[in-house]
């Protein structure tokens, strides 16, 4: 041992691990799982049994969100520049007449956030996105300033993926250099 770090005997090559992956026989665990395995079996036995430890991610994260085209109501309303809430979660309206963006980390205005630390953050944009994907109805409440072409100033309705024009999940960042895979 050097500096309190146990030496690990490596007996597999990357080519051998790749062959096991291709044949579907590789032992793959997450970074969380490998900790318990190493504690129970020791680092050398864990290294001998495990082929890949995943520490990366490519999925919706804090920088994710969804662009929604709600479609026109009758009479028409210009959501751009107004205020819109989906299940009481505010969405960004600085787009076109019926386009909005809901960020995964958006929180209702009455959420205590971290006023009582640590905050509970019970419901927000990510939950609304999950409910949309699950096909649930989402309450839309909008307030706008009204124009000649878009005279409506208030809208309260229910939306879901079936009754809006489109929804595009937008993932600004999903793969990180420091979220790598250990073999």
Strands of the 166-171 sheet, one edge to the other: 99-103, 64-69, 166-171
Instruction: Write out the residue range of the structural domain in which residue 135 sits.
Output: 64-171
Based on the fold, state whether residues 36 and 117 are members of the same structural domain.
no
> What backbone torsions phi and psi does residue 34 show, to the nearest 5 degrees?
-65, -30
In a domain, 164, yes or no: yes
Q: Is the Cβ–Cβ distance between 70 and 88 less than 8 Å?
A: no
pLDDT at position 147 is 95
Based on the fold, state whether residues 76 and 133 are members of the same structural domain.
yes
Based on the fold, state whether residues 91 and 160 are members of the same structural domain.
yes
pLDDT tens digits along 32-71: 899 999 999 999 899 899 999 887 665 667 788 999 999 9
CA atoms within a 13 Å half-sphere pointing along the CA-CB vector of 47: 12
pTM higher than the cut 0.85: no
Based on the fold, state whether residues 118 and 46 are members of the same structural domain.
no
Whether the per-residue pLDDT at 159 is higher than 50: the answer is: yes
Burial of 79 (0-12, 13-18, 19+ CB in 10 A): buried
Tokens of 66: 């969804």
Active site residues: 149
In a domain, 112, yes or no: yes
In a domain, 22, yes or no: yes
Distance CA 35, CA 109 (A): 39
pLDDT at position 4 is 45
In a domain, 180, yes or no: no
pLDDT tens digits along 99-140: 999 999 999 999 988 888 888 889 999 999 999 999 999 999
Based on the fold, state whether residues 153 and 86 are members of the same structural domain.
yes
């Amino acid at each position: 041992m050097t500096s309190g770090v146990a030496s690990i005997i490596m007996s597999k090559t990357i080519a051998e691990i790749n062959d096991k992956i291709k044949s579907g026989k590789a032992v793959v665990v997450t970074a969380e799982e490998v900790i318990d395995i190493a504690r129970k079996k020791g680092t050398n036995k864990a290294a001998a049994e495990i082929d890949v430890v995943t520490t990366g991610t490519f999925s919706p994260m804090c920088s994710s969100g969804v662009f929604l085209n709600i479609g026109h109501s009758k009479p028409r309303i210009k959501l751009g520049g107004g205020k819109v809430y989906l299940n009481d979660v505010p969405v960004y309206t600085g787009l076109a007449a019926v386009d909005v963006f809901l960020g995964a980390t958006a929180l209702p205005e009455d959420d205590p956030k971290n006023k009582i630390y640590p905050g509970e953050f019970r419901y927000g944009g990510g939950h609304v996105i999950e409910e949309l994907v699950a096909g649930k109805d989402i309450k839309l409440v909008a307030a706008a300033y009204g124009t000649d072409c878009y005279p409506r100033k208030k809208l309260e309705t229910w939306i879901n993926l079936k009754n809006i024009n489109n929804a595009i999940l937008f993932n600004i960042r999903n793969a990180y250099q420091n979220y790598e895979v250990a073999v």
